[in-house]
A and B are shown apart, each in its own frame.
Chain A
Protein backbone atom coordinates (compact mmCIF):
# COMPACT_ATOMS: atom_id res chain seq x y z
CA UNK A 1 0.00 0.00 0.00
CA UNK A 2 1.28 3.44 -0.93
CA UNK A 3 2.26 5.54 2.05
CA UNK A 4 3.52 9.08 2.52
CA UNK A 5 4.92 10.22 5.86
CA UNK A 6 5.93 13.78 6.60
CA UNK A 7 8.08 14.96 9.46
CA UNK A 8 8.12 16.85 11.63
CA UNK A 9 4.40 17.44 12.15
CA UNK A 10 5.09 21.01 13.18
CA UNK A 11 8.08 23.30 13.02
CA UNK A 12 8.58 26.66 14.67
CA UNK A 13 11.39 28.77 13.23
CA UNK A 14 12.86 32.16 13.91
CA UNK A 15 13.05 34.41 10.90
CA UNK A 16 16.29 33.58 9.08
CA UNK A 17 16.65 30.16 10.72
CA UNK A 18 17.00 27.64 7.88
CA UNK A 19 15.54 24.14 8.19
CA UNK A 20 14.37 21.10 6.24
CA UNK A 21 11.12 19.20 6.01
CA UNK A 22 11.06 15.51 5.22
CA UNK A 23 8.69 13.45 3.11
CA UNK A 24 9.34 9.72 3.05
CA UNK A 25 7.32 7.55 0.73
CA UNK A 26 6.56 3.96 -0.07
CA UNK A 27 5.04 3.51 -3.49
CA UNK A 28 5.09 0.67 -6.00
CA UNK A 29 6.49 2.91 -8.68
CA UNK A 30 6.99 6.65 -8.28
CA UNK A 31 5.79 8.65 -11.21
CA UNK A 32 6.07 12.02 -9.53
CA UNK A 33 6.40 13.69 -6.14
CA UNK A 34 4.77 17.04 -5.52
CA UNK A 35 5.14 19.76 -2.95
CA UNK A 36 2.24 22.08 -2.20
CA UNK A 37 1.85 24.90 0.25
CA UNK A 38 -1.47 25.30 2.05
CA UNK A 39 -2.59 28.32 4.03
CA UNK A 40 -5.39 27.85 6.61
CA UNK A 41 -8.77 27.38 4.93
CA UNK A 42 -7.27 27.69 1.46
CA UNK A 43 -6.51 25.29 -1.36
CA UNK A 44 -3.06 23.78 -1.84
CA UNK A 45 -0.74 26.00 -3.88
CA UNK A 46 1.60 24.19 -6.25
CA UNK A 47 5.31 24.50 -5.52
CA UNK A 48 7.32 21.74 -7.22
CA UNK A 49 7.17 18.48 -9.12
CA UNK A 50 10.07 16.02 -8.89
CA UNK A 51 10.29 12.94 -11.09
CA UNK A 52 13.55 11.13 -10.47
CA UNK A 53 16.15 10.60 -7.76
CA UNK A 54 18.77 13.30 -7.74
CA UNK A 55 16.46 15.94 -9.11
CA UNK A 56 16.40 19.34 -7.43
CA UNK A 57 14.14 22.34 -7.93
CA UNK A 58 14.32 25.83 -6.42
CA UNK A 59 11.96 28.72 -6.00
CA UNK A 60 12.92 31.75 -3.95
CA UNK A 61 13.79 30.48 -0.44
CA UNK A 62 12.58 26.92 -1.14
CA UNK A 63 14.54 24.02 -2.57
CA UNK A 64 13.15 20.53 -3.08
CA UNK A 65 15.26 17.42 -3.52
CA UNK A 66 14.40 13.79 -4.21
CA UNK A 67 15.99 10.45 -3.42
CA UNK A 68 14.64 6.96 -4.00
CA UNK A 69 12.94 6.91 -0.62
CA UNK A 70 12.35 10.49 0.42
CA UNK A 71 12.17 14.11 -0.49
CA UNK A 72 13.33 17.16 1.40
CA UNK A 73 12.02 20.68 1.27
CA UNK A 74 14.71 23.07 2.42
CA UNK A 75 13.66 26.50 3.60
CA UNK A 76 16.57 28.94 3.55
CA UNK A 77 16.41 32.09 5.69
CA UNK A 78 12.63 31.87 6.09
CA UNK A 79 10.40 34.89 6.50
CA UNK A 80 7.09 35.10 8.37
CA UNK A 81 5.23 34.87 5.06
CA UNK A 82 6.62 31.36 4.63
CA UNK A 83 4.37 30.25 7.48
CA UNK A 84 2.02 27.59 6.10
CA UNK A 85 1.40 23.87 6.00
CA UNK A 86 3.60 22.16 3.45
CA UNK A 87 2.08 19.09 1.84
CA UNK A 88 3.88 16.33 0.01
CA UNK A 89 2.01 14.11 -2.45
CA UNK A 90 3.02 11.16 -4.59
CA UNK A 91 1.72 9.95 -7.91
CA UNK A 92 2.20 6.23 -8.54
CA UNK A 93 2.48 4.45 -11.85
CA UNK A 94 -0.71 2.53 -12.38
CA UNK A 95 -2.86 5.27 -10.88
CA UNK A 96 -4.54 7.80 -13.08
CA UNK A 97 -2.88 11.21 -13.15
CA UNK A 98 -3.95 13.36 -10.24
CA UNK A 99 -4.88 10.50 -7.94
CA UNK A 100 -2.40 11.68 -5.35
CA UNK A 101 -1.54 10.14 -2.04
CA UNK A 102 -0.95 13.09 0.27
CA UNK A 103 1.06 13.18 3.46
CA UNK A 104 -0.35 14.75 6.60
CA UNK A 105 1.73 17.88 6.10
CA UNK A 106 4.24 19.87 8.14
CA UNK A 107 2.91 23.02 9.75
CA UNK A 108 5.60 25.69 9.66
CA UNK A 109 5.44 28.84 11.75
CA UNK A 110 8.09 31.50 11.21
CA UNK A 111 8.29 34.19 13.89
CA UNK A 112 9.92 37.61 13.40
Chain B
Protein backbone atom coordinates (compact mmCIF):
# COMPACT_ATOMS: atom_id res chain seq x y z
CA UNK B 1 0.00 0.00 0.00
CA UNK B 2 1.15 3.53 -0.73
CA UNK B 3 2.60 5.39 2.22
CA UNK B 4 3.45 8.97 3.04
CA UNK B 5 6.36 10.06 0.86
CA UNK B 6 8.84 12.64 2.06
CA UNK B 7 11.66 14.27 0.16
CA UNK B 8 14.48 14.73 0.40
CA UNK B 9 15.34 11.99 2.85
CA UNK B 10 18.57 13.69 3.85
CA UNK B 11 19.56 17.33 3.62
CA UNK B 12 22.66 19.17 4.77
CA UNK B 13 22.52 22.94 4.98
CA UNK B 14 24.70 25.65 6.42
CA UNK B 15 23.60 28.11 9.09
CA UNK B 16 21.43 30.92 7.80
CA UNK B 17 20.49 28.99 4.67
CA UNK B 18 16.98 27.99 3.63
CA UNK B 19 15.57 24.49 3.31
CA UNK B 20 12.34 23.12 1.87
CA UNK B 21 10.91 19.73 2.77
CA UNK B 22 8.17 18.11 0.75
CA UNK B 23 5.45 15.70 1.79
CA UNK B 24 3.16 13.65 -0.40
CA UNK B 25 0.31 12.17 1.65
CA UNK B 26 -1.26 8.79 1.13
CA UNK B 27 -3.60 8.99 -1.91
CA UNK B 28 -6.99 10.49 -0.99
CA UNK B 29 -5.71 11.75 2.35
CA UNK B 30 -6.60 15.40 2.74
CA UNK B 31 -4.97 16.18 6.08
CA UNK B 32 -1.26 16.65 6.66
CA UNK B 33 0.71 17.04 9.87
CA UNK B 34 4.34 18.05 10.45
CA UNK B 35 6.41 16.94 13.43
CA UNK B 36 10.00 17.64 14.45
CA UNK B 37 12.06 15.07 16.35
CA UNK B 38 15.39 16.24 17.72
CA UNK B 39 18.14 13.76 18.58
CA UNK B 40 16.99 11.55 21.44
CA UNK B 41 13.74 13.49 21.80
CA UNK B 42 10.11 12.68 21.24
CA UNK B 43 8.29 14.11 18.20
CA UNK B 44 6.99 17.66 18.61
CA UNK B 45 3.95 18.87 16.70
CA UNK B 46 4.66 21.77 14.35
CA UNK B 47 1.63 22.42 12.18
CA UNK B 48 -1.29 20.75 10.43
CA UNK B 49 -3.47 21.36 7.38
CA UNK B 50 -6.91 20.16 6.40
CA UNK B 51 -8.20 20.74 2.90
CA UNK B 52 -5.39 23.23 2.22
CA UNK B 53 -6.21 25.34 5.24
CA UNK B 54 -4.04 25.50 8.33
CA UNK B 55 -5.90 23.73 11.11
CA UNK B 56 -3.49 24.07 14.02
CA UNK B 57 -0.08 25.30 14.95
CA UNK B 58 2.31 24.05 17.59
CA UNK B 59 5.82 24.98 18.55
CA UNK B 60 6.82 26.11 15.08
CA UNK B 61 9.39 28.91 14.90
CA UNK B 62 8.45 32.06 13.01
CA UNK B 63 11.31 31.25 10.63
CA UNK B 64 9.33 28.26 9.45
CA UNK B 65 6.31 28.31 7.19
CA UNK B 66 4.26 25.62 5.54
CA UNK B 67 1.42 25.21 3.13
CA UNK B 68 -0.72 22.54 1.58
CA UNK B 69 -1.35 22.62 -2.15
CA UNK B 70 -4.35 21.74 -4.29
CA UNK B 71 -3.05 18.19 -4.82
CA UNK B 72 -2.77 17.90 -0.99
CA UNK B 73 0.98 17.70 -0.92
CA UNK B 74 2.62 19.96 1.62
CA UNK B 75 5.89 21.83 1.90
CA UNK B 76 7.71 23.00 5.01
CA UNK B 77 9.96 25.98 4.39
CA UNK B 78 12.67 26.76 6.90
CA UNK B 79 14.72 29.94 6.67
CA UNK B 80 17.68 31.37 8.57
CA UNK B 81 18.57 27.87 9.67
CA UNK B 82 20.17 27.39 13.05
CA UNK B 83 22.20 24.48 14.39
CA UNK B 84 19.28 23.61 16.68
CA UNK B 85 17.07 22.99 13.67
CA UNK B 86 18.97 19.78 12.99
CA UNK B 87 16.37 17.08 13.43
CA UNK B 88 14.24 14.46 11.80
CA UNK B 89 11.13 16.05 10.31
CA UNK B 90 8.12 13.84 9.94
CA UNK B 91 5.11 14.37 7.81
CA UNK B 92 1.96 12.41 8.52
CA UNK B 93 -1.40 12.20 6.83
CA UNK B 94 -4.95 11.07 7.47
CA UNK B 95 -8.25 10.87 5.64
CA UNK B 96 -10.24 13.64 7.19
CA UNK B 97 -9.04 15.66 10.11
CA UNK B 98 -11.01 14.12 12.88
CA UNK B 99 -10.81 10.71 14.47
CA UNK B 100 -8.97 8.90 11.70
CA UNK B 101 -5.71 7.00 11.90
CA UNK B 102 -2.63 9.10 11.29
CA UNK B 103 0.15 7.55 9.25
CA UNK B 104 3.70 8.84 9.36
CA UNK B 105 6.27 9.08 6.61
CA UNK B 106 9.88 7.92 6.90
CA UNK B 107 11.05 11.42 7.74
CA UNK B 108 13.54 13.90 6.33
CA UNK B 109 16.85 14.27 8.10
CA UNK B 110 18.01 17.87 8.23
CA UNK B 111 21.55 18.57 9.37
CA UNK B 112 22.57 22.19 9.81
CA UNK B 113 26.34 22.77 9.89
Q: Quick check: which of A11-19, A64-72, A73-81, A97-105 contacts chain B, the rest being far away?
A: A97-105
A96 & B106 in contact (Cβ 8 Å cutoff) = no
Instruction: Give Cα distance in the complex from A21 to B95, angstroms.
Output: 30
**Which B residues contact A (CB, under 8 angstroms)?**
4, 31, 33, 41-45, 48, 55-56, 58, 88, 90, 92, 94, 97-107, 109
Which residues does chain B contribute within 8 Å of A43, judged by CB atoms? 4, 90, 92, 104-107
Q: Which 8 A-B pairs have the closest CB atoms?
A: A43-B104, A96-B56, A102-B42, A98-B33, A44-B104, A97-B98, A43-B106, A104-B42
Instruction: Give Cα distance in the complex from A96 to B49, angstroms.
Output: 10
Which residues does chain A contribute within 8 Å of B55, judged by CB atoms? 96
> Least Cβ distance of B50 to chain A in Å?
8
Known contacts A34-B102, A97-B94, A98-B97; can you find 20 more A-B pairs with CB under 8 A?
A36-B104, A41-B109, A43-B90, A43-B106, A44-B90, A46-B103, A46-B104, A49-B101, A95-B56, A96-B56, A97-B99, A97-B100, A98-B56, A98-B94, A98-B102, A99-B45, A99-B56, A100-B102, A103-B42, A104-B42
Residue A42, interface by CB 8 Å? yes
* CB within 8 Å for A96 and B42 given contacts A41-B107, A43-B90, A44-B104: no
Q: Closest residue to A31 on the B side, CB-wise?
A: B99
Which residues does chain A contribute within 8 Å of B31, judged by CB atoms? 97-98
Give the A interface residue count (CB, 8 A): 21
A96 & B43 in contact (Cβ 8 Å cutoff) = no
Which residues does chain B contribute within 8 Å of A103, judged by CB atoms? 42
Residue A58, interface by CB 8 Å? no
Q: Closest residue to A96 on the B side, CB-wise?
A: B56
Residue A33, interface by CB 8 Å? no
